[in-house]
Amino acid sequence: MATKATCDVARFSKFQFRLQPDSPLLMATVLIADDSRVYVQLLTDWLQDLGLEVIATFDAIQAWVTAMRTQPTMIILDINMPGGSGIEVLKRLKNSTKTRDIPVLVISGNAGPDIRDLVKRLGAVELLEKPLNCEALCAIVSPLVVSPPNQ
């Protein structure tokens, strides 16, 4: 029997209290783009515990199309996916006037220092390596969805 992955988000709950019922940030949406359904479910559980809405995609093409269509508050983007590289998706996101201001957190299971430098130069807020740590993820995500850089 599978159990829900848990994460101590209590340290980050202070961000939830800043959200008022009529606040546009109450509906903050995070787009997850990762071909691993296990990681998508894990991230979804953690982000929903923070009170965020989640949209999941499983390849690079879906990620690009969904980002353009939904304009999420934030994007979590895996590097290695079917349909293209997460690096290419990041480049396209940052070159589009519709998506360039959306914060993008890149995740990868095998990124070295060169990849970390590249994604930062391309405009990603950070690169986290798998296996992911809930507290590190929440520390990056929480301030970005409460006070997005483009608002």
pLDDT tens track, the chain, 151 positions = 344 444 554 444 444 434 444 544 457 999 999 999 999 999 999 998 888 999 999 999 999 999 999 999 999 999 999 999 999 999 999 999 999 999 999 999 888 889 999 999 999 999 999 999 888 998 899 888 875 455 4
Angle at 128 (CA atoms; ends 133, 142), nearest 5 degrees: 70
Domain residue ranges of the chain, discontinuous segments joined by +: 29-146
Of 93, 96, 76, whose CA–CA distance to 33 is shortest?
76
For the domain made up of 29-146, the CATH class stated in words is alpha beta
User: What pTM was computed for the model?
Assistant: 0.82
- 3-state SS, 48-60, equals HHCCCEEEEECCH
Report CA-CA distances (Å) from 113 to 19, 31, 48, 85, 129. Answer: 36, 25, 31, 17, 11
pLDDT digits (tens, 9 = 90+) for 47-69: 988 889 999 999 999 999 999 99
